[in-house]
């Protein structure tokens, strides 16, 4: 217990994000179905495909450190997803639905960006050069998705949320 080092922290955090990514993979199709905006729907579906790649990259990182891929329940992502489901429920059919859903999706991306940023820094410190590349590739896709969502919010979704339903 007293001699845990950065390797242990890296492995534990890898299990956390592995759980989170698998949860996100299951959640994105539901979010795509719920989205009223076709553009938001498309963004969710594209990111679902990317998420499959994130899971594969994590499996590769597990292999690099000589471990079998394992998931550890991540209460943070469970909570963020639950909040998103609440919004989908409570705002179903109303103009503000997509703005709320998009914001929930950005909370997911920000969680991932935080985790991957940390994991990349630790991989660097541990001299895991191949892992750094893999984590970096995923981090870039999470950031790009976050930017896409911001643009969608600013150009369409937030203004649509202001309109009264016809």
Q: Please, which residue, 31 or 88, has the CB nearer to Fe ion?
A: 31
Residue showing tokens 């890296």: 10
Number of residues that bind Fe ion (CB under 5 A): 5
Burial, 41: exposed, middle or buried (Cβ in 10 Å; 0-12, 13-18, 19+)?
middle
Alpha carbons 40 and 138: distance in angstroms, whole number:
21
The interface with Fe ion within residues 83-112 (CB under 5 A) comprises: 109, 112
DSSP annotation of 164 reads P
Alpha carbons 13 and 69: distance in angstroms, whole number:
12
Binding mask 142-161 for Fe ion (x = CB under 5 A): x-------------------
Contacting residue, 54, 57, 115, 120, with Fe ion by CB under 5 A = 54
CB of residue 143 to Fe ion, shortest distance in Å? 9
CB of residue 11 to Fe ion, shortest distance in Å? 19
CB of residue 141 to Fe ion, shortest distance in Å? 7
Residues 49 and 111: beta-carbon distance below 8 Å = no
Q: Where along the sequence are the contacts to Fe ion (CB under 5 A)? A: 51, 54, 109, 112, 142
């Amino acid at each position: 217990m007293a001699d845990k080092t950065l390797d242990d922290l890296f492995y534990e955090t890898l299990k956390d994000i592995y759980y989170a990514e698998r949860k996100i993979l299951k959640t994105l199709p539901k979010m795509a179905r719920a989205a009223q905006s076709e553009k938001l729907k498309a963004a969710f579906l594209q990111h679902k495909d990317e998420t499959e790649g994130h899971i594969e990259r994590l499996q590769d990182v597990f292999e690099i450190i000589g471990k079998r891929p394992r998931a550890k329940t991540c209460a943070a992502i469970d909570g963020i997803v639950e909040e998103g489901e609440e919004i989908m429920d409570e705002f179903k059919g109303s103009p503000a639905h997509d703005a709320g859903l998009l914001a929930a999706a950005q909370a997911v991306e920000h969680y991932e960006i935080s985790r991957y940023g940390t994991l990349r820094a630790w991989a660097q410190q541990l001299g895991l050069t191949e892992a750094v590349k893999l984590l970096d590739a995923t981090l870039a896709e999470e950031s790009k998705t976050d930017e896409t969502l911001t643009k969608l919010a600013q150009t369409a979704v937030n203004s649509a949320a202001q309109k009264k339903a016809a």
